[in-house]
Amino acid sequence: MTSTGRQALGVDVGGSGVKGAIVDLDTGELVGERFRIETPQPATPDAVAQAVAEVVRHFGWTGPLGVCYPGVVVDGVVQTAANVDQSWIGCNAEEIYSKALGGQRVTVLNDADAAGLAEQRYGAGRNRNGVVVLLTFGTGIGSAVIHHGMLLPNTEFGHIEVEGKEAEHRAAASVMERKGWSYRKWTKQVTKVLVAVENTIWPELIIAGGGISKKADKWIPLLKNRTPVVAAQLLNTAGIVGAAMAAAEEQSAG
């Protein structure tokens, strides 16, 4: 399928699944069903590229294509690899994906950045012009910072030190699960991380994403930081939507 109207294909590469969908860029909604396959193990560059190519071929897509990756990406080159094979580091992801797709152009960005872009345009950050921070709470903590609709790429607030411990080692959702904490006990640690972030950049709004955002009513009211915190609205589609957005914007600019 080629692009019709304002549409693009977004693919979200995660530690367990590679999922994609066509996105209506006027609404931020998926066009048809999402398609998902398991992330290959080990998740080497070539193996993941073939999985991404399988997702793209499923849709028969030749228009704007964006892929979000679980790590830092600078000018298409991977700098970190937390939940995929370490051989990714130093690889040009855009070139690897493009080669697997017979030369098709691909835009690659960090997965939390993609989610932040999507939430800012279509979700919880909509109509906000100040600094908006998205934090995804999962195995680790991902982050995105957006100001007046512009993304500051590759922020890594999950790795800042908070009272002698890395933020995601203190307050990721996985920490609560592993230690069997209550929401009340966990949110004390989340509050410490949020205070450290807001003392650094003074955001207007913090958006909480990740799977645990589905249960936001159980824990967001327990937070004690000063900045308003709201749950992400796009949930598991945010990475796909943001990747599609980034591709459409970059590729239309030439």
- Say if CB 144 and CB 133 are below 8 A apart: yes
Does residue 137 register a pLDDT over 90? yes
Q: What residues contact residue 178 under an 8 Å CB cut-off, 6+ apart? A: none
Of the pLDDT bands very low, low, confident and very high (cuts 50, 70, 90), residue 3 is: very low
Does residue 1 register a pLDDT over 80? no
In tens, the pLDDT along 82-103 reads 778 999 999 999 999 999 999 9
- Say if CB 203 and CB 225 are below 8 A apart: no
Supply φ then ψ for residue 249, to 5 degrees. -70, -45
In tens, the pLDDT along 156-202 reads 999 999 999 999 999 999 999 999 999 999 999 999 999 999 999 99
Does residue 48 register a pLDDT over 50? yes
Give the ranges where the chain is alpha helix by DSSP (H).
45-59, 93-100, 111-122, 167-171, 173-179, 183-201, 216-219, 238-252
Mode of pairing for the β-strands spanning 150-152 and 161-162: unpaired
The confidence score (pLDDT) of residue 196 equals 98
Q: What is the mean pLDDT of residues 224-247?
A: 96
Q: How many angstroms separate the CA atoms of 143 and 211, rounded?
A: 14
- CB-based burial label for 147 (10 Å; 0-12, 13-18, 19+): middle
Encode burial over 54-92: b for 16+ CB neighbours within 10 A, e otherwise: ebbeebebebbbbbbbbbbbeebbbebbbbbbeebeebb
CB atoms within 10 A of CB 1: 13
Q: What is the mean pLDDT of residues 28-38?
A: 96
